[in-house]
Amino acid sequence: MAFTADQQAQLDIAIAIETSRATQQAAAQTKLTKLEAIRLAKETLIENARSKPADLREVTAADITTFADALIASINA
Q: Please state the domain count of the chain.
A: 1
For the stretch 39-53, pLDDT in tens is 999 999 999 999 999
Question: What average pLDDT does the segment 66-72 reach?
Answer: 94
Domain of residue 27 covers: 5-76
Distance CA 10, CA 12 (A): 5
If you compute the radius of gyration of the chain from its CA atoms, what whole number of angstroms results? 22
Q: Model's pTM, two decimal places?
A: 0.73
Residue 76: the pLDDT is 85
